[in-house]
Amino acid sequence: DAGVIQSPRHEVTEMGQEVTLRCKPISGHNSLFWYRQTMMRGLELLIYFNNNVPIDDSGMPEDRFSAKMPNASFSTLKIQPSEPRDSAVYFCASSFDNYNEQFFGPGTRLTVL
């Protein structure tokens, strides 16, 4: 298995632009997580899905952030409009059920200028 796949690996954009991050979880996993990591705030859970359904989005910072999981093999995290304070590394992780070992993707390093 290729593990969790994220794209792009790096994204540089200008303030106000829309950003879409993509994730392909490990086949067979039914839980998917989006995290944001910064030096100041550490590793923050933004949202997680179980069986493609959003279960807890309490970590989503504001309405500019949205996440979807249209099927078991794909998820997106969208920021519109982006702001410089959104600059961070965004990780996607998947697991079999939401309390088991999580497998992290390599992350997307987002820079908003």
Partner 1 sequence: GQQVMQIPQYQHVQEGEDFTTYCNSSTTLSNIQWYKQRPGGHPVFLIQLVKSGEVKKQKRLTFQFGEAKKNSSLHITATQTTDVGTYFCAGSDYKLSFGAGTTVTVRA
Site membership for partner 1, residue 106 (CB under 8 A): yes
Closest CA to 88 of 101, 73, 77, 74: 77
Task: Give the single-character DSSP code of 63.
Answer: T
Candidates 13-21, 22-30, 73-81, 101-109; binding stretch for partner 1 (CB under 8 A): 101-109
20 binds partner 1 (CB under 8 A): no
103 binds partner 1 (CB under 8 A): yes
The answer to whether the beta carbons of residues 113 and 16 sit under 8 Å apart is: no
**What type of residue sits at position 100?**
N
Tokens of 100: 């088991």
Q: Among 30, 64, 78, 104, which residue sits at the site for partner 1 (rule: CB under 8 A)?
A: 104
The residues binding partner 1 (CB under 8 A) are: 42-43, 45, 48, 55-56, 91, 93, 98-107
